[in-house]
Structure 1
Amino acid sequence: MKKLIKKYWKIMVVIVILGIFVLLFFLVRYKGKKNLEANIAAEQQDVFEEMASFQNTIDYHGTTYQYRKDIVNILCIGVDKEEAMWERDDDGGSVGQADAVFLVSLDFEHSNIRILAIPRDTMVSIVACDENGNEMGAFTGQLALQYAYADGQEKSCSLVIGQVADILKNEVPINGYVAMNLSCIGTVNDAVGGVTVEMDDDYTLYNAKFKKGATVHLQGEEAQEFVQGRDIMVSGSAYSRIGRQKRYLKAFISQAKKTLAQNPALAVNLMSQLSDYMLTDISTDEVLYLSTELSGCNFDEENMQILQGNIQMGEQYEEYYLDDEAVQQTIIDLFYEEQKK
């Protein structure tokens, strides 16, 4: 009888401990939800105070559009460097460029994910800063340079956010950011179990496996080669690889949803593992909340768009000039909906 009671109490202790962990998980998740809601409200208030004439709406070609409810917009910045985020390159100079810029929109009301790609060569007025983040002047250059012309830390991220906000006519609030060293792509890729993609063209320039028509389960550095690789001798290579990134993201999100459903803490663990190689203003509890919500969201290729424009050759490098009308239409398609009468 004593053995039975002892066994019973051991089981009860295990159940109580598990219960505490479950309770803590949902408390942290709830806290993250509340923090995120507060941040969203603050960001939207700031943005829409600047665009008072719109009052959270856009009048476009005779139709009024209302900003979508329950969406979170996270700016993702891929930095082209090998060192930790706080280090400069081997020459003690550059902190890296924003080689990839995506605005990821999580729409909780409709349970889907929308992604907007902003071409790295989009021409903007660059705010130049010294190593300490002190502003020194401005010049016209590619969006990718804005990250490089600052401290490689929060100031760089803040300036890129400002550029994207201006590009989107200050009609889309940005609720948070994640800047990550692109050399981490392989680690993130492998954390979800690897990603399988079919080669729609010949990409053997980046990896011998990447033959047209081949189906490849990307692992380690292969993921970075597929996502980042481009032939700089070919005109428009930075723009055209976004299509390749689009297909990778579709496969990655599908795989990530499965992995997160089994291990909701995966994103938090990755944040800790990659802490030297990423910058973010999203807290751990907010990440936990977002990752659990992500597993219930859908993503289709039509939900990823690229800001349209035209490529011109500058004195040394390609320059991308946005089509203002197309940008306005894209903003409406992704972030607004027709106002109900």
Structure 2
Amino acid sequence: MKKKRKKYIKIVAGILIFILFIIAFGYGLQYIDNKTEKTNVSDEDSINDWNVQVARGKIKLNKKKYDYYHDFENYLLIGTDASGNDGEGDEYQGSMADFLMLVIVDKTDGTYSFLQFNRDTMTEISLINHEGKGAATATLQLCTAHWYGGNKEQGCKNTVKAVKKLLGGMEINGYYELNMSEIPTLNQIVGGVTVTLEEDFTDKYPEMKKGATLQLTDDEAYAYVHDRYGVGDEENASRMKRQQQYMTGFFKKLQDKIKSDSNYTTDIFNQLQDKATTDITIGTISNISNIFASGTNKGIYELQGESKVGQALGDNLDHIEFYVDKDSMVTTMEDLFGIKEHNNKE
């Protein structure tokens, strides 16, 4: 079946949203090491001690109840694309949330980790109206949750609600949203990032040959971490590899800047503050910054599953639909949150 592509859906280079969030949370944070190249961390890196006696919360997965025992704070990073508008009331149309990543802070053992979601993950979405109300739901791509509501705040809250449902009711403490249009700004802030190109981009930029090593201009950086269609195998996994590569280079440049100016990260945050939509306060950032600065990074996780072509959106066009493997959901949540099946005798 030949896939038709919807013009208003563009794939966001969301990993840079992750970069911005780290900047805000952990001043002087070291860039993520080679553990981030793994889809899931190994058994050796899994959580070692979940022997806290009193359950701090409960979730429900696959009709089974699970408890978790550590003190977690979870923050959702949302990267939106160029769809939607800035209208008001009935004129407002939200953007697609093409990049979604949960930042997981374990306050009990001083670690942090990340759960990156496939934008096409099929899950229950609340079809709220322009007043942010409505009880109707539908199983749609996760990226559409930000589409609903009457403003960006409502779209973000609806996305948080969808992710919470997907994870069986796991609490999410806040959100941070930034548009993909800020990618060139981020590249400019550090004076460009040098990479060895994983794919060929010479159709747009003659110098961007596969295997070449060059410092990316702002426009080239946008293309490198954003473009998928017409690049290589056009697969999301290939694009994510480029995003991680760029992220590592970005952090190296950032560290050099911080060494010469201790206020550098604060300046970056201030430059982009009015472009973000968030309910995270400076006080919250201060409370968890120590973990990001000195804690242990457990890596980036993903939920495994199967992609299919379907028409759940109801627009008579074919779109990718990603269905999470139920066993993968449980094992990933075990690794991240140390969940244990609830004992009804307790």
Q: TM bucket by the smaller chain?
A: 0.5 to 0.7
CA contact under 8 A between 1:308 and 1:322: conserved in structure 2? Answer: yes
Cα distance in 2, alignment partners of residues 98 and 192 from structure 1: 26
Structure having the larger proportion of residues in helix: 1
Give yes or no for the alignment of 1:335 onto 2:337.
Answer: yes
Cα distance in 2, alignment partners of residues 294 and 262 from structure 1: 21
Partner residue of 2:154? 155
CA contact under 8 A between 1:88 and 1:94: conserved in structure 2? Answer: yes
Give runs of aligned pairs for residues 43-122 of structure 1, distance below 5 A. Answer: 48=57, 54-56=66-68, 66-67=69-70, 72-81=73-82, 87-88=86-87, 92-106=91-105, 113-122=112-121
User: After alignment, is 103-112 or 325-334 more displaced?
Assistant: 103-112
SS for the counterpart of 1:287 is helix
SS for the counterpart of 1:274 is helix
Cα distance in 2, alignment partners of residues 220 and 226 from structure 1: 10
Amino acid at match of 1:139: A
CA contact under 8 A between 1:196 and 1:251: conserved in structure 2? Answer: yes
Which of 208, 211, 222 is residue 209 of structure 2 equivalent to? 211
Partner residue of 1:135? 134
> In the TM superposition, what is the alpha-carbon distance from 1:164 to its structure 2 partner?
1.4
CA contact under 8 A between 1:179 and 1:279: conserved in structure 2? Answer: yes
> In the TM superposition, what is the alpha-carbon distance from 1:229 to its structure 2 partner?
1.3
Unaligned runs of 5+ in 1: 1-28, 30-44, 57-65
Cα distance in 2, alignment partners of residues 213 and 254 from structure 1: 20
**Length-normalised TM-score, structure 1:** 0.67
SS for the counterpart of 1:333 is helix
> In the TM superposition, what is the alpha-carbon distance from 1:275 to its structure 2 partner?
3.5
SS for the counterpart of 1:310 is strand
User: After alignment, is 221-230 or 175-184 more displaced?
Assistant: 221-230
| Per-residue Cα deviation, 1:12-63 (whole angstroms, up to 9, x for no partner) | xxxxxxxxxxxxxxxxx9xxxxxxxxxxxxxxx998166695442xxxxxxx
Change in Cα spacing, 1:164 to 1:235, as seen in structure 2 (3 Å) is farther
Which of 308, 312, 320 is residue 312 of structure 1 equivalent to? 308
Amino acid at match of 2:303: L
CA contact under 8 A between 2:86 and 2:92: conserved in structure 1? Answer: no
> In the TM superposition, what is the alpha-carbon distance from 1:157 to its structure 2 partner?
1.0
| Per-residue Cα deviation, 1:250-296 (whole angstroms, up to 9, x for no partner) | 33344445545655544443343323421111112433565565444
Change in Cα spacing, 1:243 to 1:168, as seen in structure 2 (3 Å) is farther
> In the TM superposition, what is the alpha-carbon distance from 1:328 to its structure 2 partner?
1.6
Change in Cα spacing, 1:92 to 1:177, as seen in structure 2 (3 Å) is same
Give runs of aligned pairs for residues 271-286 of structure 1, distance below 5 A. Answer: 271-286=269-284
Partner residue of 1:145? 144
> In the TM superposition, what is the alpha-carbon distance from 1:146 to its structure 2 partner?
0.7
> In the TM superposition, what is the alpha-carbon distance from 1:228 to its structure 2 partner?
1.7
Change in Cα spacing, 1:141 to 1:53, as seen in structure 2 (3 Å) is closer
Cα distance in 2, alignment partners of residues 297 and 206 from structure 1: 41
Cα distance in 2, alignment partners of residues 311 and 167 from structure 1: 17
Give runs of aligned pairs for residues 158-169 of structure 1, distance below 5 A. Answer: 158-169=157-168
CA contact under 8 A between 2:228 and 2:234: conserved in structure 1? Answer: no
User: After alignment, is 160-169 or 329-338 more displaced?
Assistant: 329-338
> In the TM superposition, what is the alpha-carbon distance from 1:156 to its structure 2 partner?
1.1
Q: Indicate the structure (1 or 2) with the bigger Cα radius of gyration.
A: 1
Change in Cα spacing, 1:129 to 1:245, as seen in structure 2 (3 Å) is same
Cα distance in 1, alignment partners of residues 130 and 205 from structure 2: 36
**Length-normalised TM-score, structure 2:** 0.66
> In the TM superposition, what is the alpha-carbon distance from 1:226 to its structure 2 partner?
1.9
Cα distance in 2, alignment partners of residues 220 and 157 from structure 1: 27
| Per-residue Cα deviation, 1:61-87 (whole angstroms, up to 9, x for no partner) | xxxxx54x5x5432110010288xx81
Partner residue of 1:41? none
| Per-residue Cα deviation, 1:284-311 (whole angstroms, up to 9, x for no partner) | 24335655654445658xx222221111
> In the TM superposition, what is the alpha-carbon distance from 1:120 to its structure 2 partner?
0.5
Query: How large is the Cα RMSD of the aligned pairs?
Result: 3.8
Cα distance in 2, alignment partners of residues 47 and 337 from structure 1: 11
SS for the counterpart of 2:322 is strand
User: After alignment, is 316-325 or 253-262 more displaced?
Assistant: 253-262
Change in Cα spacing, 1:186 to 1:138, as seen in structure 2 (3 Å) is same
Partner residue of 1:17? none
CA contact under 8 A between 1:96 and 1:152: conserved in structure 2? Answer: no
Unaligned runs of 5+ in 2: 1-24, 26-53, 312-317, 341-346
Amino acid at match of 1:48: G
